Amino acid sequence: MAQRVIVEPMGAGLTRNWDVEEVLFEGRTAFQNVLIGRTAQGISLFCDDERQSTELSQLVYHEALMIPSLLLADRVERVLIIGSSEGVASELAVAAGAEVVDHVDIDAEAVRVCAEYLPYGYTLEDLALAEKGEGKIRVHYRDGWEFLAEARERGDSYDVVVIDLPDENDDPEAQHNRLYGNDFLARCAALLAEGGVVGCQGGCPTLWRNQTLITSWRRFTESFGTALYYGSDEHEWAFLSGRADVLIDPVAFVAEKIGKAGIGESTLDEDALRANTVPPISLRKQ
């Protein structure tokens, strides 16, 4: 028998039930309700009753988030990650050759709980070093909007900026929604070095829950000369990458680089890149 059942909203009139066999942590941070527990997919992270990652699928998710953007950029030396509390995205950036990774997350308690209880991402030792700024990863417990403004004042620039937050919703009090809009994308783009890329968790391509993806795709195509779609074929999420200039064939550009740019072929390879970068027809019609 499950110790808990988490009812996750999936769309209008739809929910998904998660049986939690054992609760490892549950608490209210300053920003959200966090639960980490054992499910049929291994140790799993839920925030405000929304599944964020599971032991089974987290690498598929994080590589689909990070690798297309890392490949689309001309260089991968300095990376900025906003959100992504688990720390896997930061580790993938370092594995791809980044010398500096600034990881910005407003919820310090959530990041620390993830490091303590999740078997992936930061360990407590890793996080302690990153909080001190010792090593390639530097963790900043800040509001992403404010961090970007201060980074621009300092004249900082990045080769890749990745936004990894919970999906947009219609809650007027959800502070993360403002980090999806055109204004925030413009602020991210303003920090890019030449040939730099902004990447984002775009939404779900499934027909009955694709509204946020349609909105995100419109924003990216309006904001960037090149917009690249990657819809994971082994997860339920799609991811968007954009760079200011126009590439004639961005799919060929990234597919030819994989395996040659210090990025291994773990859950995503050249065939996956070529197969999963055609946006659904509902996006192409926009």
Q: Which residues are annotated as a binding site?
A: 32, 62, 86, 105, 143-144, 172
* Count of H-run helices and E-run strands, the chain: 10, 13
* Residue listed under structure tokens 């991968």: 76
Angle 22-28-30 (CA atoms, 0-180°, nearest 5)? 150
Q: Residue 236's closest CA among 191, 276, 271, 286?
A: 276
Q: Which residues are annotated as a binding site for S-methyl-5'-thioadenosine?
A: 32, 105, 143-144, 172
Active site residues: 164
Answer for the pair 45, 54: CB distance below 8 angstroms, yes or no.
yes
Q: How far is CA 262 from the centre of its chain?
A: 20
C-alpha–C-alpha distance, residues 11 and 236, integer Å: 13
Q: Which residues are annotated as a binding site for spermidine?
A: 62, 86
Which helix (H) or strand (E) segment is 158 a member of? Answer: strand 158-164
